[in-house]
A and B are shown apart, each in its own frame.
Chain A
Amino acid sequence: MTFWLDVTLLISVCGLQTVRFTGLVLHEWLGLAIVGMALVHLLLAWSWIASQSRRFFAAQSHRARINYFLNLALFACLTAVIFSGILISQKAIPALTGSKAAPDMDWRWDTLHNRFSDGLVILTGFHVAINWDWILAAVEKVFRRFREGTL
């Protein structure tokens, strides 16, 4: 389940970068759906989050420390992207709240939304990079199950 959720998250992040391909309606709803997906992703990784947070001030390897800060930055960036996206939403949030969309775009938050989403792509790439061995192992496991017909 974890693997497929992560694959969906990765595809969603890529899809959210292409508003022209998804269209504005799907872009905004997918952006809101990613909140739930990220929440489940974090809950499934809770043991890691808890142990690393407890060990934060203890002696740790550079890799563990960088991984922790990278994940924290990714969480902060995702929060910023979603928050700024909600502020400039023209379809999903007005539909949810029953309000009318603003007649003109808030360019300040639109610019910030773009910058944060660029940062999100970079951090997602780094997140994939640092968990590369886990991803390879998970892909191998899925392929093995697929070959054995248990999937």
Chain B
Amino acid sequence: MKLLRILSRVVLLSLAAAAFVVLTGSFGRSARLSLPSARWQAERRDRQSGPQVSDFGEFLGAGGLVVFWALAGRIALRLRLSPKPRSEGQPVLLGLHRLHHEQHDARTTGVPDTGTLNSAKFN
């Protein structure tokens, strides 16, 4: 049963991938691209089959690029998606002082003011 569930998920993912392959194929056939320069072509043709440890710096550079975009994304997502709440940096007014006075007034006049209690909670 579990295997069947996993297989159905794999099929779903494969279908989604196939849809993107079709889209990529039609985009690739219709896109207007200029041929790369002769120097670039020569460079691409002469690529080594085996690894070149001396080019490890290039690998670090690629890692740095991912880190750069991660930081850029982090900054952008923070600024755009998690704006500071409006109340941040402002004192929260509990209205206790006013509440105390109104309770005192209610005691002297005999009229309880529940509305003030509720509004004080949401201040």
Q: Could you tell me how many residues of chain B have their Cβ less than 8 Å away from some Cβ of chain A?
A: 49
Q: Which of B24, B31, B81 has the most CB of A within 10 A?
A: B24
Interface majority SS (helix, strand, loop, mixed), chain A: helix
Q: Please tell me if B115 contacts chain A, counting CB pairs below 8 Å.
A: no
Determine the distance from Cα of A33 to Cα of B6 in the docked complex, in whole angstroms: 19
B48 and A79 contacting across the interface, CB-CB below 8 Å: no
B44 at the interface (CB under 8 A from A): yes
- Chain B contact residues, majority secondary structure: helix
Which residues on A sit within 8 Å (CB–CB) of B24? 79-80, 83-84, 112, 116
Q: Would A129 and B71 be within 8 Å (CB), given that A14-B63, A21-B58, A80-B20 are in contact? A: yes
**Footprint of A on B, CB under 8 Å?**
6, 9-10, 13, 16-17, 20-21, 23-25, 27-28, 31, 33, 35-36, 41, 44-45, 47-53, 55-56, 58-59, 61-63, 65-74, 76-77, 80-82
- Can you offer 10 A-B residue contacts whose CB atoms are under 8 A? A14-B62, A21-B51, A43-B6, A63-B81, A75-B20, A79-B21, A108-B33, A124-B69, A126-B70, A128-B73
Q: A residues engaging B (CB < 8 A)? A: 10, 13-15, 17-26, 39, 42-43, 46, 62-63, 66, 75-76, 79-80, 83-84, 91, 105, 107-112, 116, 121-122, 124-126, 128-130, 132
